[in-house]
Amino acid sequence: MAEKHLGHIEPYSAQFGTMIPMGGQKFFRTCVLWQLVRFVAINIRMTILILKSHH
């Protein structure tokens, strides 16, 4: 099946040599429900980092 997310990649260009996200991955990046979960996760991660960094 043709993958619309990959159509702009030129074979053997620099862009050809890396990972390209496809539909599912891109969908979840802006899926509000999933991103609410990620919002909580990011805040927890950052809080831990801040606590670790204060001397």
- Residue whose pair of structure tokens reads 């606590």 in the numeric block: 51
Task: Give min distance, CB of 1 to another protein, in A.
Answer: 19
CB atoms within 10 A of CB 43: 10
Q: How far is the CB of 18 from another protein (least distance, A)?
A: 4
Window 3-22: contact mask with another protein (x via CB under 8 A): --x--xx----xxxxxxxx-
The token pair at 8 is 């702009």
CA distance 27 to 23: 6
Binding site for another protein (CB under 8 A): 5, 8-9, 14-21, 26, 28-32, 35-39, 41-43, 45-46, 48-50, 52-55
